[in-house]
Amino acid sequence: MDAATAWRMVRGMPRQGTHQEKLSGFYAAQADRYDTVREGLLHGRDGMVAALAARLADGAAVAEIGCGTGRNLECLGPHLDRLGPVWAVDLCPPLLAKCRERIAARGWERVEAVEADATVWVPPRPLDAVFFSYSLTMIPPWRAALDRALANLRPGGVIGVVDFWVSGSDGGDPERHGAWTRWFWPRWFRHDGVHLGPDRLRALRAAGAVEDLRTDRGRIPGIGLSVPWFSLVARVGSPSAG
Ligand SMILES: C[S@@+](CC[C@H](N)C(=O)[O-])C[C@H]1O[C@@H](n2cnc3c(N)ncnc32)[C@H](O)[C@@H]1O
């Protein structure tokens, strides 16, 4: 990890300003190295995007919410030629600038980077698929962002999410984490503006018919500890292909 990224993570998410100002303050100095640093930390992204893409018909309209640098669009790669419009939505200008550079470099004519808040963004047409990769834990009003995303989907559309989480203590989750895990990880990540708990996965499982669900643990580079993550793909509304 480079010094600028390490220093920013030690200082944590800025405490003052709007959510957008905090995100920019947190990510501006990391933007150049974001992809390299996060590659070993954000587990399960390729698998979730592949599971989602496999369910999409030609011409499907897709959005990634909280796209950051657009790294996950690379996973859509083989599918981009056959998909319809793809919107890459984020509230953080320094990361979105990297995403725009990537779109231009790759010549992805149907991909558009959009600066917008996930809680209010409405696409120009109903979506066939929407996905969040490690962004739902970084959006404080996550329920509003999820509700907005679900409302943006056509009936029978698919939602994909991959993120860190910890279970509750009541046994209502796909696995039950021990007390130390449930205590430690929310506190570790809170400093960097990332909020872990059981609620997001519970809301997602209740939102639609789950077609793909995986829970696992992934190493945090450099510290030898493993953090729980999940990936889920669910169909929302009446079941239909693509
Ligand atoms: C940990 S990064 C993940 C980026 C990317 N999805 C990935 O997998 O590498 C979380 C992203 O969520 C974005 N984000 C946070 N709050 C947001 C909001 N309210 N609306 C849109 N994006 C938001 C951040 O700017 C950041 O790019």
* Separation of CA 102 and ligand 1 centre (Å): 16
- Among 26-35, 87-96, 194-203, the minimum mean pLDDT is found in 26-35
Mapped onto helix, strand or coil, the DSSP state of residue 207 is: helix
Q: Is the distance from the beta carbon of residue 92 to the nearest atom of ligand 1 less than 6 Å? A: yes
Q: Is the distance from the beta carbon of residue 38 to the nearest atom of ligand 1 less than 6 Å? A: yes
* pLDDT value at 221 more than 60: yes
DSSP-derived pairing of the beta strands 111-115 and 86-90: parallel
- Give the residue-averaged pLDDT of 10-33: 87
Q: Is the distance from the beta carbon of residue 231 to the nearest atom of ligand 1 less than 6 Å? A: no
Q: Give the pLDDT of residue 78.
A: 84
The model's confidence at residue 240, banded by pLDDT at 50, 70 and 90, is low
* pLDDT value at 71 more than 90: yes
DSSP-derived pairing of the beta strands 153-164 and 209-219: unpaired
- The phi and psi torsions of 115 (rounded to 5 degrees) equal -85, 110
DSSP-derived pairing of the beta strands 209-219 and 226-236: antiparallel
- Among 27-36, 68-77, 215-224, the minimum mean pLDDT is found in 27-36
d(CA 136, CA 186): 14
Residue 15 is classified by DSSP as S
Q: Is the distance from the beta carbon of residue 42 to the nearest atom of ligand 1 less than 6 Å? A: yes
CATH number of the domain at 3-236, out of 3.40.50.150, 3.40.50.720, 3.40.50.970, 3.40.50.300?
Answer: 3.40.50.150
* Separation of CA 68 and ligand 1 centre (Å): 5
The model's confidence at residue 40, banded by pLDDT at 50, 70 and 90, is confident
* Separation of CA 117 and ligand 1 centre (Å): 10
Q: Is the distance from the beta carbon of residue 45 to the nearest atom of ligand 1 less than 6 Å? A: yes
d(CA 165, CA 174): 12
- The alpha carbon dihedral of 198, 219, 192, 64 has a sign of negative
* pLDDT value at 24 more than 80: yes
* For the chain, domain boundaries: 3-236
d(CA 58, CA 140): 34
- In tens, the pLDDT along 108-146 reads 999 999 999 999 999 999 999 999 999 999 999 999 999
Average pLDDT, the chain: 93
* β-pair partners for 115: 90
Q: Is the distance from the beta carbon of residue 8 to the nearest atom of ligand 1 less than 6 Å? A: no
* Separation of CA 134 and ligand 1 centre (Å): 7
Q: Is the distance from the beta carbon of residue 135 to the nearest atom of ligand 1 less than 6 Å? A: yes
Angle among Cα 32, 63, 104 to the nearest 5 degrees reads 45
* pLDDT value at 1 more than 70: no
- Give the residue-averaged pLDDT of 150-176: 97
Position in ligand 1 atom list of the atom nearest CA 138: 15
Q: Give the pLDDT of residue 222.
A: 82
Q: Is the distance from the beta carbon of residue 134 to the nearest atom of ligand 1 less than 6 Å? A: yes
Q: Is the distance from the beta carbon of residue 76 to the nearest atom of ligand 1 less than 6 Å? A: no
Residue 165 near residue 138, CB atoms below 8 Å: no
Position in ligand 1 atom list of the atom nearest CA 145: 19
d(CA 239, CA 242): 10
* pLDDT value at 2 more than 80: no
Residue 86 tokens read as 């793809």
Find the radius of gyration of the CA atoms of the chain. Answer: 17
d(CA 223, CA 225): 6
